[in-house]
Structure 1
């Protein structure tokens, strides 16, 4: 933090002594408010997943700093919702041209647009969730803070929960778009399952979208129909369909579970109580931290920030209502091994194959 110059302090003292100081003098100027903007991806701000978590982080930042937050043009903290991919660039540019001090893009699907917009607006401060923005020479762009997570680590832990909880030895994974990012969720999860239950059979399928709950429900119905009693979903709003199907199956008398993602999704399983646990990805914490750094004059532009178990960036939901203490103790043991490097969690199919062997 920058300290006031000694001469200013002395001058203030002299003015006070002479009766010339007032509550509105230069030493107590009102602090200039910061403006932070956010552009959602197609899942929308109420996706009950990472868009929502990002917005919750900004709302927390706004409350802490006495700022207004919403969708009004005069709000200090504001989001714009994208309904199609072609909205990304104009939404980012709109906030930049309205002089927001920092603009977040939520989701790796925005990486191309973020790169283009950042290069066209070198004086703008930008940040992206789930991607690293680099130039043609593979160097990070100086006006973009890239926020990434070690999703495979948190996914490993909920895999341990699934492997120790399943009664049928059949477990499902539903992904949004088959990509390098979501493969981290899948392979980390499968590694966790296999570490404690080598005999478990794992079904994996991708919906091809993050905003298609109907597809998520159809895939879940197939997996539950094949005997899976636990499904881990990493599919954004598509994953809401997995919860819908699980609750329907529960009403029919079947004991099935869903493992939530990105935020604690315990409430998404109510009233049928189908959420076993959730892999929490602290997008809210990361967004809050980067916003505060920017407000304090330390925007982390050009940095690729990585949040894992060690940084409390990923983990298992704190609610844990449906996980036994014995299983949690085992999860904590694996957590320590991952943090100290004893276990290197796979992120790709190739790494998972080597891990399993």
Structure 2
């Protein structure tokens, strides 16, 4: 009996020393360093996603990140939704599974001094091509009755446009902070003429960040895909309840001053006027059309296909695409729907 007990004890010791099963790795891409894309990192840091190890890559190159996602090198990807029509046109293994947050005033068009909208015909305007800046510039020109083909487009990001604006080479430019303040301070008479906090702009729904996933990842590892999606909103919930700590964690992750993080996501756990507005899970599910009720900003329930279709029409108008696509092919709301059916809910308020 003694030998049996000793053997059993030895077996228990052996079992205790076996290595734990390795967590499944999920590769997560972030298109640019931007605090709104950091909620999955918060979820990982606070142990809100079990059984999975999230491996993050910050691309600083949205198109490079999209290529990696299409190739299956990453499984999930946070970026702006303006690329969805191109995903459909190119037939890549990619879908957008959720809208995460709209721009809430962070994106502007700056008009040069002594320039009226009618003066823009034949002049240079700048915006990064195939990006939300070009959409915002297009909306502004359209609102002012200036045909988009009547201006000379210059493909510049906000930081690259500062010098040409100050030298007078540009008549209008897409910008965000801190470049807006730099131009307005150095160029008396320059002014912001449209931004994404405009109710009519918010109502379009097109200036959003979204979460993309590789379709093979969803098909082959659906449980993991659902875990990632839930963790994104669990991370957001942690940020809502622990905003000061979470903002510092975002600052550490993206290597930003915490003050700059606060000027994007704010300090109230919901939004920042001049930054971004965070959709809670219920708001995003309503954008998908898998939960009853209306999203904010006058957007209709189930708006995602309409929003993507509108972006597609703008890309055609701006000469980046030639044909209208079936927007539903770039969207998969079934994961959000599964979370709703499971009883998952989240309504977050500013504090």
TM-score (norm 2): 0.38
Higher relative contact order (CA 8 A, sep 6+): 2
